[in-house]
Chain A
Amino acid sequence: MARSINHNANTGALPDFRNFGILLRILLIVNSIALLAALLQSTSIHDWPAKFTENAAAVEPLLVLSLLVLMATGNVLRRLPHLAAILAILAIELALTAALYYIGREALSVSAQSLPRWLLVVALTTAMLLVYFDLRGRALSPALAEARLQALQARIRPHFLFNSINAVLSLVRQEPRRAEAALEDLAGLFRALMADNRELTPITREIELCRQYLDLEQLRLGSRLRVEWNTENMPTDALVPALSLQPLLENAVYHGVEPSEKPGMVSINIYAVRDRLYAVLQNPYHASGDRHAGNKMALANIRERLQLHFDVAAELTAKVSGDLYEVRIAMPYVKDQGS
């Protein structure tokens, strides 16, 4: 069975305090606690409502004020490291409690219980809420990650699509058979792009996809595109994230071959060393170019997907050495158990 995405990529983000659902949850939970506290404090079931009203008079101003402050500072807090943000929230809550305590005592001359006791109650409640939201976030995050993954994949250069269709059209009259083959390649490529690509795919499939893509490019670019495959030491039972190589080849052709009138070589080298799988792609490097933004995006996309599958066990590096551009992927060698 193919391995699915690793679900531990959750980064423990704070809840969004401007989210209505989050606010509602906080209000409900805190009031439930106040209700429970009132029940424990009351001597009989009859003075429970009175006790709750008494508690609410102290709790509600703090609760409303807290939510307002958190709504206002939420964006700043979310940018802090996780631990710092949690400490900041605790500090905010304790400060608000102390402030309200003194205002209540001085201005309104409300007799209240001791401050340390209130501080402890507030700290515990805050901590409990934070733990709750953290767990909830963890439970939901894989869904988010998968949604993002799907979005990441649905990308192909429109430039490639339209140029390819144009090339196929040029074949239709003179060489119908080649046109057929090209359309089949195009269909195969789009089938792969639109498939549910959350699971790992056999490397042989990914390579077939790469060949279909390169055949299409060859049609357009003719002798300008040269391809060299080194796959003798590639384990054929390896599994890789779907579309981890094809976008890199698209980059190589777009940045390395197309901008030059001279023929350019794209070389692909795939091999395994013990439990690691490596893929190294090289293409000519052209220093002058305004096309690099797209390249970075594609690399970031693949890097992110590698991370979603393998976390820190995979890495992607890109470098320029002389007139060559090289992308190197290292990832765990996952064997296909099914075959």
Chain B
Amino acid sequence: MSAALRVLIVDDEAPARSRMRDLLADVGVKLPVTIAGEAANGREALRVAETGVVDVVLLDVRMPGMDGIELAQHLQKLERPPAVIFATAYDDYAIRAFELHAVDYLLKPIRAARLEEALARAAQSVAPMEFLGELQQAPRVCLSAAERGKVHLIPIEDVLFLRAELKYVTVRTAAREYLIEESLTRLEEEFQERFVRAHRNCLVARAAIRGFERAGAESGEGPWQIVLAGLEERIPVSRRQQHVVRELAR
């Protein structure tokens, strides 16, 4: 390999990032590496990775807000996803999964020799990351949608409703809509505390519900519809989900 490996360091703890810099300097003697950037959280990391200057991400598993497992999933949506090497001080559950799926990980405190080994391997091949969804313990803090090489992070609290259409799920926020490639059933499972099913292919954010009204205002006999905060569009409630109206209408 001729070009230097471009590495992004992601860790919420400043001393841990500083230690990683030192280690990369040590490794640099044998393996050409450059530091493409540093990030203290998932959002910053994604912003750097999007610019396409990153080959490898050194990623701390346990971070506040968006953790390493979630960030790695969002990174996979980039056009050319960087290789990910997880670092963790002690994380039983994650380590077992990494071993199972032959994903490289580093145990903190990290040894320079071990880091070099992992970087050399990452430069050659990118490990599969599909299993990360199962590793996600708490619901993600963001959904992500890929658009023209960029990855949009959609904070889950901004989402008003999720609607399944053919291959995609439409994510609606007050500002705009996004298309994501996920299954509505999985989303319902993951965010069951936040969303409620209005009909077969639509999940509505409980917090965004402003009220209910009958379709066909004159007669007042039509099926119920959900009124959402800051949205003209009404979401019909299917016959089977009528109980939702009763439960949520106060």
Contact = CB atoms under 8 A, between A and B. Distances in A.
Contacts of B109: 162, 165-166, 169
A158 to B, nearest CB: 4
Interface residues of B, number: 22
A171 B90 contact: no
Contacts of B4: none
B15 interface: yes
Interface in B61-92: 62, 64-65, 89-91
B13 A261 contact: no
Interface stretch (A101-109, A216-224, A313-321): A216-224
A167 B22 contact: no
A163 B61 CA distance: 12
A162 B13 contact: no
Interface string A215-239: 0000111100000000000000000
B19 A169 contact: yes
A107 B64 CA distance: 78
A163 B64 contact: no
Nearest to B11: A166
A49 interface: no
Contact of B19 (A159, A166, A260): A166
Contacts of A163: 13, 16, 89, 108
Interface residues of A, number: 24
B135 interface: no
A166 B90 CA distance: 12
DSSP class of A's interface residues: helix, strand, loop or mixed?
helix
A162 B90 contact: yes
DSSP class of B's interface residues: helix, strand, loop or mixed?
loop
B90 A261 contact: no
B192 interface: no
Given A158-B90, A159-B90, A261-B41, A166 B138 contact: no
Contacts of A165: 108-109
Contacts of A221: 13
A289 B138 CA distance: 7
Given A167-B16, A170-B22, A261-B64, A288 B90 contact: no
A183 to B, nearest CB: 13
A15 to B, nearest CB: 39
Interface of B: 12-16, 18-19, 22, 41, 62, 64-65, 89-91, 107-110, 137-139
17 contacts: A159-B89, A162-B89, A163-B16, A163-B89, A165-B109, A166-B109, A167-B13, A167-B19, A170-B18, A220-B13, A260-B64, A260-B65, A261-B41, A261-B64, A261-B65, A288-B138, A290-B137
